[in-house]
A and B are shown apart, each in its own frame.
Chain A
Amino acid sequence: MIEIKGLRKTYRSRGREVRAVDGVDLTVGEGDVYGVLGQSGAGKSTLLRCVNMLERPDAGTITVGGVDLTALNRKGLRLARHGIGMIHQHFALLSSRTVAGNIAFALEVTGVPRSARKERVAELIELVGLGGRADAYPAQLSGGQKQRVGIARALAARPQVLLSDEATSALDPETTDSILRLLQDLNQRLGLTILLITHEMDVVKKICHSAAVMRDGAFVESGPVAELLHRPGSTLARGLFPLSAPATLPGRTVVDVTVSGPDADTALTGLARNFDISLLEGSVETLAATRAGRWRIALPEDGTAAVEFLRARGAQVEAAA
């Protein structure tokens, strides 16, 4: 659905050059929820703003729904943008328009005739769970409600793709959850492809099928979440399941174990039945609809047999660090 090749974007200001995006390749499949993680200044927003050409890249191609956006003229780009929704960290609503007015704005811009707007607006208000608030102004809404308006507005033109720039970063944890559930629901019900950027591991944990970690303008790892977890030394695995228990114990071998799939719930019990181990830290959670567990475990001094046992069950085992 989204295909990015060799994307580069450099900002120049007063002789200083910042390579915000420095050679990114990215493919987001139809119906995928793809998360890009990274620290502040990594280039996440720049990457996302290139996807709908709010920033014009210096090099590379961006194909959305089969159309190469870098090759379009102004008019063509405007039309292509109707098929790409976007939501923003600070909501970016029109303060002078009501909830209904903000959603109607998206329809006006796409040229939906007045007669058809009212019904579609009502439909969208229901879709995002804002029934009864149609006539409220943004200033009268909570953050979570504002983001729901942002989502309704982004979906007004029935886009196939939704871009999200830190859509939950300004919200409290509970509201974040409700917005993430809404996005997940839209993904499942409408088959909406979502590319989101975030600095919160939790967002990836809750809704992403695939993810990438960005640093200094480039991806340092990327792929399906379940697969990334099993990659030795994965930053994402460490981020999703931070392990901080001691990495060495006298007379024991300490290892970090990652298991996903149905085995995640049984691997540990099996291990404990056969070996003298202690669980130092870790948990099993549901990630991208699959069960995944990651633990720091102290094995006997000679852990070879236990490691064999785990590997035979598809676990990835590495020395704790």
Chain B
Amino acid sequence: MTWSEVFDLLWVGLQETAWMVLVSTVLTAVGGLLLGVLLVLTAPGGLLSAPPLYSVLGLIVNITRSLPFIILLVAVIPFTRAVVGTTIGTDAAIVPLTIGAIPFFARIVEAALREVPNDVIAAATAMGASRGQIVGKVLLREARPGLAAGLTITVIALVGYSAMAGVVGGGGLGDLAIRYGYQRFETEVMVATVAALVVFVQLVQMAGDLLVRRLSHK
């Protein structure tokens, strides 16, 4: 294979990875924030304390998180067909990626919101803040640096998961590395792909760190 062919492969793979990661990140951010906030609110002693609901949500989160991604990928195929209309390709891969990442990010959101000191929440309550104001103006706002750091971790985890998207024909850099490097022993392609992944992850981490620093006033 010529370097120009390798480059073309990489370019397509990079676009596929970027697309999968981008869309699933956006969906995960929304879903994970909602689920994470719900966990914090319904936890015993929370603003909407509902221990049974909290236990059920926690169980669902834990089950999803304990499934190996490859099994989740296959298990959600009927759901994927219902949502995207197909079970193969990049768009089809986004569904399991998002489903796998939401509980992961939700736990990170939960942990980040718990970092907001109790006396800050008490102070807002004492001022007569409503529960909505406490969630929006205190919890989410104060936790922004932690949420940004958590989202960075999630994006990088999604890059990793997306390597397995090849199973449903999703493509992407990870799939490229597996197909060429592992199955066909095209070492150059594998090395180039892995290098591209390293650069990709590095850029994501740097952007994340920058954002955290901008948001943090500690």
Q: Chain A residues in contact with chain B, CB under 8 A?
A: 49, 52, 54, 77-82, 84, 86, 88, 90, 92-97, 105-106, 108-110, 137-139, 153-154, 157, 163
Contacts and interface: CB of A to CB of B under 8 A. Distances in A.
Contacts of A79: 128
Contact of A109 (B117, B120, B133, B215): B133
Given A86-B123, A90-B119, A92-B122, A109 B128 contact: yes
Nearest to A82: B128
Interface string B101-135: 00000000000000001011011111111100100
B128 A96 contact: no
Most B-side CB within 10 Å, residue of A79, A105, A154: A105
A171 B141 CA distance: 28
B142 A95 contact: yes
A138 B216 CA distance: 12
B126 A52 contact: yes
Given A78-B128, A81-B127, A92 B217 contact: no
Contacts of A81: 125-128
Interface of B: 117, 119-120, 122-130, 133, 137-138, 141-142, 144, 215, 217-218
Contacts of A153: 127
Nearest to A165: B119
B127 A109 contact: yes
A134 to B, nearest CB: 15
A54 B141 CA distance: 22
Given A88-B122, A138-B217, 5 more contacts: A49-B122, A88-B119, A90-B119, A92-B119, A157-B128
B77 to A, nearest CB: 43
Given A96-B215, A108-B137, A157 B142 contact: no
Given A94-B142, A96-B142, A105-B137, A137 B217 contact: yes
A31 to B, nearest CB: 22
A157 B217 contact: no
B217 A139 contact: yes
A319 B133 CA distance: 59
